[in-house]
Structure formats: C-alpha cells, structure tokens
Homo-oligomer: A and B are copies of this chain.
Amino acid sequence: MPTLQDVAERAGVSLSAASRALSRDQKPVAAEKRERVLAAARALGYSANPLAQGLSTRQTGLVSIIVNHIGDLSDLDLFDILIGRLQDVGKQASIVRLGSVKSARDFLRGSISYHVDAALIFSDFIGPRQARDFFRTNHVIMLNGRQDSQSLSVQPDDAPGIQQAVENAARHQVETATLITGRESSELEKQRIAFYRTALARYGILVSTQLHGDYSYASGVTAARQIDPRHYTDAIFCTSDAMAMGVLDVLRDREDGIIPGRMRLYGFDNLSLTDLHSYPISSIGFDKRDYVEQVVSLLVDPAQARKGPRHLGVPTRFYGRQTG
C-alpha cells in the first residue's frame, strides 16, 4: 500500500506539502505543487489510511447507530434512508446491537464505536447521561425519546398525527374506542397515550377499554382476542402498526367482521407494510426523509448544533387507508 510518504517522494515535495495538497479543506499549497501531488497520488493509487488520520484528528468518519436489535419493522424504512444519507455526507454507519451485549459500556469502550464522530441512540436502554459516558465523542444524538438539557435529540411530534386520526374517527361517527398500547414504562408511550385521550375527549369519544401489548404483531393478536365482542366499540387505536396488523387478522376471523362499516382501525408508525393489500391500515407517521434530514443537520455542523435548538421535532400526520 502506498503511503503519503510515497506520494510526496514521487511528487518531489515534502510530506506535509503532500498532506496539505490532499487535505479536503483548503490549505495553502502552490497550485502547481498541488497538481503534482494529486497526479502522483492518482498514479500510485494512493488512499489515505483513516486510522492514521483518526489518530491525529480524532475523527474516524464513523457514526454509530445504537439499537436494541434490528428487525423492528418500524425501523427498517428509516435505516435505509439514514445510512444512505450518512454516506452522502461522508460518514460510515456502524450498527451496534445492544440486545446481545452484557454490558453496553464495556462493550462500547473496547470497540471502535467509542471513537466515532457521533452516536445515534435508538435503543431505549440508554439515557442521555449514560450516552455521554458511553462515547468519547460528546456528539450524541438521542432518538429514543429520552433527553435532557445537555443532549441533542430529534423526536417525532405525535400530537398532530393523533389529532388528525381522532378527528377522522369523529367525522365517521365513532363514539367509543379501544386503545391498545405498548409498554407504559416508556415516557414516550405515556405521553402518546395522553395525546390520544385528550383528542378523544375533545370529540366526545369514550375510551371503553385500554389493553397493553409490546408493539409486536403477536401482542396485537393477543390483545384483540381479549376484546369482548359484546362490549361494543367503534374503533381501535393501536400505538404500532404491527399490533394493528395482529388486531386486523383476529377481527377478520370473527363472524361479526370488521372494516369497513362496523369498526375502524388505526395503527401507528406508517410502516411500508401497510401498503400490502392485506394490511391496508390507516396509520400515523412522520416523513422519514424529513426526520433523517434533521438528524443529519445536527451531525454535519456540531458547532451550529450546539448553538441552535438542541431538540428538534418532526411532525406526524395521519395517513388514511381502508381501515379508517
């Protein structure tokens, strides 16, 4: 592998001149010299060693994405866009799956993830304080809904989407609703439930039942089976599309049937799976590209990020499909 030294020699310049010529920011180099260096680099097939660069500059070009595990359907669409955009701005994505790790801190400390330019925290195992302790970079972006005054974060604003969904229900004469939620341990989920209840109350819709799941398809199936058919309800609001899918499949099997007409079903996340003909579930979600842009904006200009608003929001909206 050719080194910068080789390039410098071939171009007949000093090491530092070569370094400056190849630097991505404008450094003082005679135009003619720069040309010779670039030519030499090209001829040799030179490419800088990022490890050596990182050792000097403390920048690795790596961004860690910290998740519990992947396969949560709701994340997939997002990650593809996110990783693509990271690459656009010259960053590499490294995925850390905390689910299979005993101690997150020890694991991270030993790995290159400790030295990333930024860490994007999706895992709800990690709070803002821990996150700062877990990474050498002070550039941590909380995306799990947890945050404090020091941290940076991007968060969907659930209120508008929920408001729109409930308004849609009201417009269709819904009078009583069932709420199927996820883990109430999460602050985010608590807040979300509050939004639903407020919006429903505003339109005079009665919450007849509230059931708990864990966001998964299976838990949606379980919850739906608990709904007493004699206990009338006009609409079911789920805090994840996966649960709504489970609910839909159970309701289809029941003789009293469902949609459209008898009952309305609303999901959450706006998964691309809801485009499948068998799961035409009305949902609530945010624009993924918009969200990713917010994240990237915090990433590309750390200084700016520290001055501007630290907590960015992305509005959700209602996506109507057959079930709502």
| CB–CB A112/B245 < 8 A | no
Select A276's contact among B47, B110, B217, beta carbons within 8 Å: B217
Q: Which of A51-105 contact B (CB under 8 A)?
A: 51-52, 54-55, 60-62, 69-71, 76-77, 79-80, 83-85, 87-88, 92-97, 99-101
Given A93-B95, A95-B93: A111 in contact with B71 (beta carbons within 8 A): no
| CB–CB A47/B112 < 8 A | no
- Whether A208 sits at the interface, judged by CB under 8 Å, is no
CA distance A275 to B51 in the complex (A): 44
- Whether A31 sits at the interface, judged by CB under 8 Å, is no
Question: Which residues of chain B are within 8 angstroms of A60 by Cβ–Cβ distance?
Answer: 51, 112
- Chain B CB within 10 A, most for which of A60, A85, A97: A97
Question: Which residues of chain B are within 8 angstroms of A125 by Cβ–Cβ distance?
Answer: none
- Whether A136 sits at the interface, judged by CB under 8 Å, is yes
Question: Which residues of chain B are within 8 angstroms of A84 by Cβ–Cβ distance?
Answer: 69, 97, 99-100
- Whether A115 sits at the interface, judged by CB under 8 Å, is yes
| CB–CB A112/B51 < 8 A | yes
| CB–CB A48/B110 < 8 A | yes
Question: Which residues of chain B are within 8 angstroms of A71 by Cβ–Cβ distance?
Answer: 76-77, 79-80, 272
- Closest Cβ of chain B to A261, distance in Å, is 18
Question: Which residues of chain B are within 8 angstroms of A97 by Cβ–Cβ distance?
Answer: 80, 83-84, 87, 93
Q: Tell me the A residues contacting B by CB distance below 8 Å.
A: 1, 47-52, 54-55, 60-62, 69-71, 76-77, 79-80, 83-85, 87-88, 92-97, 99-101, 107, 109-115, 136, 217, 221, 245, 248-249, 252-253, 272-273, 276-279
25 pairs, CB–CB < 8 Å, chain A vs chain B? A49-B55, A49-B115, A50-B114, A51-B54, A51-B115, A62-B94, A70-B80, A70-B83, A71-B77, A71-B79, A71-B272, A83-B95, A83-B97, A85-B100, A87-B96, A87-B107, A88-B100, A92-B94, A92-B112, A93-B97, A217-B276, A221-B277, A249-B277, A252-B278, A278-B278
